[in-house]
Structure 1
Amino acid sequence: MWLLGFLWTSAGIFIGGVLAWLFKGINKKAHIIYALCTGIILGLISFEVLPEAVESGGWLSTVIGFILGMMLFKLLHSRLHFREDKSHTAKKLYIRTGLLLMLSFAVHNLPIGITLGANEEPGLTKALLQTLLFHSIPEGIILFMPLVLAGLSLFAILLISLLVSIPVALGVFIGGFLVHPFLNTIFMSFAMGMIFTVTVSEILYPALHKSTVLKVVCCTLIGFGLIGYYLHLL
């Protein structure tokens, strides 16, 4: 089960990364892509992660994990801060954003693996694996868009897809021995806090500086609506 979870997750993330790589030539319109990604991330949080966290452990543990995730982001942001220079500022910003998103999604994948490992119903296991695959595609697009703009190769996309998926396999092992709703919620909301803060400060904020507020808001709403429809179909 750990191998299936790992492979299906990495496959979905890799597909998303390939899609991001195919559109790398439109970097002049990166602010539009960033706005769409913002909407997709906020949609994933609103329609999937937040309801699961609250249902699993309640609002208190969700809020605690969310705040802890934001605090860790602030710490990592200060550690990964790059001094600006005229020739490499944009590339370094893309790399920093990608690194923070990598960590956020890796943390987010751990409770997913725990849920998969704790499940004992074959029918539900199949549904969870399919959800993992299709759920990971938009995450891959979001994760790799800044890294592709920084010049990432397809081989690097494959390698990172495998690395980010390792927590799913680890979570399956943990889920087989220990399942606690509070801890599960803390992990999910922790990742949610990190992802939300990365989105606002590293994706939405730069997009607002490169385009008009109206265009960014419209693209964000489009991304939000698309991911909502996508998850509804699942």
Structure 2
Amino acid sequence: MNNTFGDLVHTKRNQLGYSMRELARRTNVDVAYISKIEKGQALNPNFSVVMRISKELSINIETLQRVFELNEDITTVINGAIQKRVPEEEKETVQGIVGELVQITDNQEFDIKRLGEVLQKIYSLHKMKNTAKEMFYVITVEDKEWIHVLETPVVDSQLIDLYYQAFELSESHSMIVKGEIVTFPDYFNESQLRTIQSLKDMCTGIKEEDERYLTFIELKEYLEKMTIG
């Protein structure tokens, strides 16, 4: 009986006639790491490594759940990994794709038609993510250097006026550029880039005692009404 993941990997690898080096080649996992897993020296192996080895050795989800003594369903674990890496608006689509792939690999009969449908979903997601969206950039300049940049798919006079008031900016110190900025100045860093979502977060975090509180509330209300397509 296989009591640990390492025992299971060792047994399955021998059943398939793979050397450790061959398994390492097939899974793109370092052979020394596989050795540690089999010897029980890697007590908390990387999730991605576990999934790659399991796929190559045909270890199903239920078996993984048993050997790792998981109290929660393995799908919940997978979804947890997705939560950390995938933008909010894409999570449902990605979770659906992962769920279908898990079912395809678990079935004894390989369903090529269903795989084709999953690939179509992946292609649609890829197309959606890589379709250029028109953006506007409100660049605030001080002493000939960019202080911060607001990135927004929608720009109008009310948004700009509220933005300037909330952050006490002068129109004479800002410019609006339409289209993607390919390269930011070397001195400019990610923390200086503002988005519609980060603006909402800033508005939510403003304290009542702040003298610009009412302006931030008005800005927040306007941002929540914006239609971004």
Same fold (TM over 0.5): no
Larger proportion of strand: 2
Larger proportion of helix: 1
Which structure's relative contact order is higher, taking Cα pairs within 8 Å and 6+ residues apart?
Answer: 1
TM-score by length of 1: 0.25
Higher Cα radius of gyration: 2
TM-score by length of 2: 0.26
